[in-house]
Structure 1
Amino acid sequence: MLSEFAILADRNSAANQWLRENPLVLSAGMTVLGCALLYFGVAGLKSGTARDKYGNELTGGLAKLSSLVRFIGGIGLIGTAIYIAIFGAW
């Protein structure tokens, strides 16, 4: 199992080289995830309620905090996707 993670983390693996050569694929995936996080963050901030990873409904300050973290994470992912689309993968 540990060797599988080593293969995924290898900077010179075939998959990582392909993503480095095709940065728009990586950028598109990050944009989709960022838009999803951004949507759930905005929806949670508007309604004042959010769901946790188990499906329980959160209200009050915890819902706002969770939604704010999702909102900031979505903006971060979209910003990183734009950077990768313009300058390529690092």
Structure 2
Amino acid sequence: MTVAPGPVSGLKATPRGDGMLLSWTAPTEGIAGYRVSRWNPATSACEPLHTGLLPTTTESHVDQSAAPGSTYFYTFEALRADGSGGGGSGSGPAPSPLPGTS
């Protein structure tokens, strides 16, 4: 039996001079890494902020493309090596967004 990764928790979006600091506490057992995405209203989709997966030792990421004074919505997912997950920033089939205003 395969156990789904636990949920990502303690999500925070903090504006900084170099962009939006995104931080979280996430499970490390049974996962290969994390994916952090931002909602793009132009494409009506969440788009990853990085290539590949962030390592399991990572608990923050800076969105350097976040413009001051803008509002963004982010999703966080804990994924297994095969790309499956369930350890997102919310419950249900799709992770719920974390709003951040820079």
Q: TM-score, normalised by structure 2?
A: 0.25
**Higher Cα Rg: structure 1 or 2?**
1
- As a proportion of its length, which structure holds more strand? 2
Q: TM-score, normalised by structure 1?
A: 0.27
